[in-house]
Each structure stands twice: as C-alpha cells, then as structure tokens.
A and B are shown apart, each in its own frame.
Chain A
Amino acid sequence: MILDNGAEVIIGLEVHVELATRTKLFCACPSAFGAPPNTAVCPVCLGLPGALPQLNREVVRLAARAGLALGCEVRLTSRFDRKNYFYPDLPKGYQITQYEHPICEWGALEVPLADDAVRRVAIRRIHIEEEAGKLIHEGDSLWGATGSLVDLNRAGLPLIEIVTEPDLRSPEEARRFLRELVSVLSYLDVSDLRMEEGSIRCDANLSLKPPGFSGALEDLARVEVKNVNSIRNVVAALESEVKRQRAVLDAGGRVERETRGFDEGTGTTLPQRSKEAANDYRYFPEPDLPVLMLDPSVVEAERERLPVLPPALRAELVGRGLTSKEAAVIASDPGASRYLARVLAEGADTRLAVTWMLGDLARLLNEAHVGYGASPVGPAALAELLQLMAQGTLSGRLAKEVLDRMFATGHSAAAIVEDTGMAQISDQDVLATEVDRALAQHPAAVADYRAGKAAALGFLVGQVMKATRGQASPDVVNRLLRERLAALAPSS
C-alpha cells in the first residue's frame, strides 16, 4: 500500500496462539476454560516460593508441528529464558519464554491476495512461552483502578508466538495473512483458535516508509500496537495507525517509536502509559530448565503426520474443477474440506456437491451457527440426496425442500421422499394426462403461445407443476408440452 504522499506501509505481526493441551505448560493443572477463578492452580503456576517448572512435552510437539506447517526449521536444541517485569497478573515476576534460541526459525506463509496474487510472508521465529493470569479492574485500567482482582487459572497456559518479518504492505494484507494463518493452524489441531476467549492475540508493528528511503526497515520509527484480540480489530488498529502516522508526517512531525494500545470503543490506538511500556526485561537463561533437546526422529514423525494444508488443497480443488473462489472458501475451513472429501468419496458429482455445499447447505449451517463438521446432514446423507437428483427422483426444487427437512429432522433423503411422497413424477402417462388437462383449461395461454409468446410455455409448465404439487419432472413436462403444442396446427 503506497499512500498518495508516496509513503509505503510496512507491517510485521507477532501472533500469540494458545495451544490446546490438556494441562498447562509447566505444571499438571488442567487448561479448562471457564472454571471458577483461581481453582485451576497449583504451587507452580501460582509462583509459590520453592516451586519449579516441569516442561509439558506435548507443548513442544505442538510448537514443532506449527513450525513445520509454516515451513520453519525446527531447532533440535532450544532454550528457555526469563523475561523479567512486574505486573499483578504475572505470579513469578517473570515470564518463562524463549528469547535467544526459539524452537522454530525461518519459515514462510504464502498469502493469497486479490486477483490470484500471492504475498510471501517470512516467519522469523516461533517460540514457546507461558500465558499470564487475568485481571479484572474496578475502574478503567490497572492504573486507574480502585481495586483489581487476579484470576490465575490462565497463568501458565502454553502459548506459541509467531513472529513475521515486516513483509506485509497494508492492513488488508495483514487481514489476509491472519486469515490464512488461522486456517493453516485450524488443520493442525494445535489450538482451539477461539478469538473471543483470547486464544489468538496479536501485536502489530507498523511503520511508514517515506518515498526515497533507502535504509534498513529496522531504522524506521516503528509503532507497536499491543495485544489486539481479533482479526477485525487488528485491521482497524492498523488502519487507524496509518491515518495517525500519516497525519503526523503531513504536519511535518516525526513518528515516535512507541508502544500503543487499541481502544475498541473508538477504533483508534492510544499511547500506553510509559510505566507499562518502558521496560528492560533483563532476559537471562532460565536456570530451572535444562536446554530443550529434540530428537530428530520426533521432528520427522511430526512432519509425516502433517495434513494437506490450504495452499496444496486449493491447488488440488482447482484441479478438480472448482473456481479459485470456491477452492479458497472450502480450503480455508478444515470442516468444509473434510466434508467435501467425504461427499466425493461417496461417489457424488464434484460440481453438484460443491454447488450444494456452498449454496443451500451453507445457508442452513449459517442460520444454525454450526460448522460442516457438526452438520445435521452429514456427507453421506448429502451424497444420497445428490444421487436422488442425478437419478431424476428429485428435481432441484424438491431436493431443496428435502434438504431443509433433512437438516431439521436428521432423517435421510430416501426416508423423507418415502414419507412425504415427494418423489418426482417422470411417468409420461401420468404427466400426459396433466398436460392435456392444462392445455384444455387454459386456451388463452395456448393461443398466446401459438401467437409467438414463448413465455406462455412457462405459464403452462407452472400449471402442471402446481397440479402435481411440484413433483412433476420439469424436463418431462417441458418436452410433453412442446410436443403437444407443436402437434396443433399453426395459427396462421
């Protein structure tokens, strides 16, 4: 994104993803969400005197898995460090993280942009760290509070932090990057990815590069917007930062390197209190944990267990005849892609399956707020419905009605057709009677048709469909009507 004053937008992201393990990073406390405050705690995650961390190896596996999926090198030796700062949600007065030697380095994510363009975003590193607790203030913030409550259930939950290079060029690209990242992660079963519960949070860095600037990007004044909790808010924060920095530059000012927070209420960023921002974290190697060693065979096993990921899946779907838009929609959602795979495995026609999945089924799922994985109409049931259409037992219109009933009742398409007698009537003898009756009852329409008004044919088809409660095969009715009308002598 180049602004009209020639400045280029430079964005890098740090994405914090809470990993879905049964227990916390350094103790055996459950990682249950929504437990009563301070009940999922123990001496370790409370930071009691004398307690020591024990590393949860499942976290290591999930972090390596995420790294592999993002094309990173997984380091066979990495190390934990302490990041020291005071905050009431941080029970030990330091966070155990990986500073000098993260577990994964140097990967990339290819982000689809508009018009089939792609932005390659380098992943500089992925490291493991522990989550802090939760504060509830009586008042606006910690500093203005008349009282604050501390809940340490969340303290010590495992996180990975994914750090990109400053490769993104607009808030829109940031949005696409985050959506692509979330969809890749959603295939890995490493995180619940619940935005509203804070299982993904983002720190966004933004600089404006003036035209003609030839130095290193690191030398640009960078503003970090901390702790933004949804993709929408990240985009809003970045857009607001572009405007703000632009205004500063236009007024002849200099953008200060600083840390800002995002205010959801106003949709703007605000400077953070210097007390909160100005920190020397005094990193040093965590003496309570040995260097983390990974067996190469463990990494290779994990690599082999990786599923097909969105980029490859998109290509595969396009190869099967999907449009790139359809492929993007289905590939972005593991539920959808697994669903499609199973429908096709049942022998359904690809085009028909995609049309129905993204059309009527998607509508029903949206209304019910459920995903493909939890659809009351499973892949086999949909395939059966599509089969009945292909056989001519159901028309498209009927099939839609049957799908609605399947969705509501969970019954199979065949059972619904059987119970309601909704099968399509293709029997020529039956339909010939109805066609003749319609011709007899609507002489005006017949005359119109013979006078060259083609629309009159549609009216007559409609009459037959009405008389058969929609069950007549539109193809057969059309053919019979045309034959009968053609057999009548021309009007002039």
Chain B
Amino acid sequence: MSMREAESAAVVVSSVQRGDRTAVSVVSAALARIEETELRLHAYLHVRREAALAEAARLDHEAPSARAQKPLAGLPVAVKDNLVLAGAPTTAGSKILEGYHPPYTATAVARLQAAGAIVVGKTNLDEFAMGSSTEHSAYGPTKNPWDVARVPGGSSGGSAAAVAAGTAVVALGSDTGGSVRQPAAFCGVVGLKPTYGRVSRYGLVAFASSLDQVGPLARTVSDVALVFQVLAGRDPHDATSVDSPVVGRLATAPSRLAGMRVGLVAEQADQAGPETRQAVAEARLALMDLGADVVDVALPHGRYGIPAYYLVAPAEASSNLARYDGVRYGLRVAGRDVAELYLNTRGAGFGTEVKRRILLGTFALAEGYYDAYYLKAMQARELLAQDYRQAFQAVDVILSPTVPDPAFRLGEKLADPWSMYQSDIMTVGANLTGLPALSLPWRVAASGLPTAVQLTAPWLGEERLLLVAAALEALRPGGEAWPDPLASPGTSGQGGARP
C-alpha cells in the first residue's frame, strides 16, 4: 500500500526537495488513499482535491533551491476542522457553522503551508472539540482504522484516523483536555500537546481558551518533531503565545538515557485497565534498560483534575460560543424578534453535548456561584500545578498512561457523559497546568487494538519530551515499524484480533 509503511515525513520531504518525486505525485497518492478509505472511516469533512493539487504543482514549479529551503516540502497534511483555512469551509463539526468560509488562515496552518506542506483536507471532530469519541460531530462519527466498530477517540478523531490510515503523513489536532493524545492513543499514532502558548492559537476555533493548544499527530516521534519545529514560536496575533521557537534540529533517538530521571504516576497506572497497565510496565522497564532512573511520583491533587476541568472548560466555552448567534455568519434560524433569532439559531445549530456544556459553564459563572465553582476550579488548577512543580524537582519527565483503556465501541459511552468525561482523567492535568505531554503508541494488545503511554515534561520541555519518546519508541515491541491497521482485508469487520 503505497508510501505510508516505510516512509517517514523526512523521507517524503527530502525526495520532493531533491526532485526525486514531484509534490503532485505525493499529494495524488494521498488523495487516492483518502478515496480508498474514506467510505469506511469518514475521517474528513472536506477534501481539498483541486486546491491541494494546484499547490503541489506550484511547489513543483519552484526553483529547486527554493524548494530545498522548505522543511515540509510536498508533505501531505490533514488539518482538524476547527482550524481555519481561507478558501475551505470550516465547520468545527457543528451545524451552526455549516457553509461558513473563513476569510483568513490559522497561524499554525499558515506555518505548515509556508514550509511547503500541502493541506489535503479538513478532518472530523466532536462538535467544537467537545468530546472524546468524534461521535459528537454533527456530520457523523469517524471510525477507528484498527476496528471500524470502535471510535477513533476525540475530539481530534479525524486527524488521528487520517494519520493511522496513511491518508496524511502528519495531521494537526487541538488538545483541550486530551483531544490530541487520547485519539492518538486510540489510533496508534504519536500525538503531542505542546506547552500552552508554544504554538499559536490564532485561527483555532476556541473551545476553552486557557486550555486549548494546537498539536501535531504523526506515525513517528521524528515526524512529530519535524512538524513541531515548524509550528513552535511566538505569534503577534496570539497574546498568550510564548517566544520560544525550537532552536537547531531536534535530536534523533538516543541509545541511552543515562542520568535521566523518570517519575511514574503509580496511582494513574493502577487505575488503568490490564492492557494499558501492561504497556506502562513495559515502557518503565524499557526506560530502565536505557539507563534512566524510574521513581514513583505523586500528584496529590490529581483527583481534582476532572472536576476542575469540567468547570473551567465549559465556563470558557459558554463565553466562546456566544458569538454563534445567527447575526453575522453560519446558521440563522429567523424568529419574531432578536431573542427568538438567538434561541432558534442556537437551538437548531448546537448539538446535545455542546448545549450541555454551555449550560454547565453558564451556571458555573453565574453571579453568586462564581466563587464556589469557577474560582475554586482555578484554585484547584494552581494546586495541581504545584504538584507538578514539586514532582519535576525530583524527575525530568513523568510517565503515565494516556488513557485507561484502548478504544471503546461506537455508542458505548454516548448515553453516559459522566463515564465519557472520566476517560480524560490522565490527560487533563497537562492542559490545566499548561505542560507539554505526548502520547506514544506502545504495543498492539491481544485485542488487536493499540495501547499507549504518556510522557509529560516541564514547561517548554518539548525537546526533552521528544528525546525520551524517540528513545522509547526505538525499544517498543516492533520499534518504529508499526503495523498498518488497514493492511489486511477484512478490517471492515468487527474488530477481531489482529495478526
């Protein structure tokens, strides 16, 4: 199956830079792959067939010296449909933005394009990134390439599935409570949630502004590193962005991690199911084999993560989503007066989960409740940040599960939002504290589904995070070589064990 098995982003890019292959041929292969898989997966909400080929052709016509300067020349990338791109529709997975065409391009996307990447399409997501399964998309769920009866995770489920299925080498997602890392874990790809502010949020349709962060997904750590290097850096359009570009090339996988101190969040590992516990245990041993010291660390306030997250995120969302009122763009359902216009438009345009969170958030910010809910949650956030600061005095990175269990079945948790929310328990900490965290696929479990571990680093510690992840990746069962979920026939079946 074409390029995806052996080819890393670096290989694709250097072949296009050298002119061994045209960008058009690379992009055409990606588009063909989308065509081949999309009916089964529904990873995309919009495919940029003509625009992508035209951009690829333009790149092919550039002087070889100019092309050689572009670190992502000809790389097919997929972009979550909550990042705006001029010329393509942006829905954020919501009916309320159906038919909306943004007039500008998100900084993260513009940086990829300026580096020579070709956006092949916009990927599916839970409506406004609110969800953990992509089932809350107004445009139907995405399926997990490893087992189409299962969810790809969410909210960046489309991006994770697109990368896993090889329709894009790299994808952009957004991570507010785990929305890059959890689908990366479910789909067996690498997902990075950078330090808050390290990648611009300008052009990311806001869900919870103090938690949202744009991050890349790819099949390997080095692909993630390559793209992260392009994404990171200060953006004058985002006042919360940090002036901390990646300097120099990110290190390739070291063969030793001698002197590296790794903290294991034992409490979280114990909460996970057997497959994930196995993955964490193996990763721990691998780290020790690499020469790292592994010690237990505690996050005493970790249990406040979920309650704090489900106050802060809905509170900010209730404000961020107020602009969808039918007055200026997107869906408009008329009424007798302006109040009815609002009610009708928002009633028809938002899905159940979004409405639930707007109600939660509106309540949490209401006069008389602010101190008890929002303020308390912000205090819990600070306590959690202190926990991490304390832990990072003793260790360099923290190892934990990304998710308690592998991908669940479509529909399994839809009726039970509480249990859906609980599945974010291991990922929300990084968002609440702004720390960088990465999900690394570990082994394919006996169930045929991938497992994953999570690494968390101190503020602006992506370089260290990627270094440790690369070293671990080389030691995991199967190493960098990773099975193709769609390689054998019959994957449209019911998720039987993989060979």
Contact = CB atoms under 8 A, between A and B. Distances in A.
Interface of A: 43, 46-55, 82, 84, 86, 88, 91-94, 142-143, 148, 150, 275, 280-284, 287-290
Given A280-B366, A284-B315, A93 B102 contact: no
B243 to A, nearest CB: 12
A309 B315 CA distance: 45
A92 B322 contact: yes
B312 to A, nearest CB: 9
10 contacts: A49-B92, A49-B97, A50-B201, A50-B203, A50-B205, A84-B318, A84-B322, A86-B325, A88-B325, A282-B365
A54 to B, nearest CB: 6
Contact of A50 (B83, B325, B362): B83
Contacts of A287: 208-210, 240, 316
A20 B35 CA distance: 55
Nearest to A49: B205
A142 B325 CA distance: 15
Given A49-B84, A54-B236, A282-B362, A142 B338 contact: yes
A93 B328 contact: no
A-B pairs, top 4 by smallest CB distance, nearest first, are A93-B322, A282-B365, A287-B210, A287-B209
A86 B319 CA distance: 10
Interface in B259-318: 315-316, 318
A50 B92 CA distance: 11
Nearest to A281: B367
B224 to A, nearest CB: 23
A204 to B, nearest CB: 24
A94 B104 contact: no
B337 interface: yes
Helix, strand, loop or mixed for chain B's interface? loop
B356 interface: no
A13 B167 CA distance: 62
Contacts of B374: 284
Nearest to B83: A50
Contact of B239 (A84, A88, A283, A289): A289
A142 B341 CA distance: 12
A88 B370 CA distance: 26
Contacts of A284: 315-316, 319, 365, 370, 374
Contacts of B319: 82, 84, 93-94, 282, 284
Contacts of B328: 46-47, 91, 150
A491 to B, nearest CB: 94
Interface in B203-234: 203-206, 208-210
B241 to A, nearest CB: 9
A288 B92 CA distance: 20
B353 to A, nearest CB: 18
A290 B239 contact: yes
| Residue of A48, A50, A281, A288 ringed by the most chain B CB atoms within 10 A | A50
B102 A48 contact: yes
A86 B322 contact: yes
Interface string B152-180: 00000000000000000000000000000
Contacts of B318: 84, 282
B315 to A, nearest CB: 6
Contacts of A86: 322, 325, 342
B322 A52 contact: no
Contacts of B201: 50, 52
A280 B206 CA distance: 22
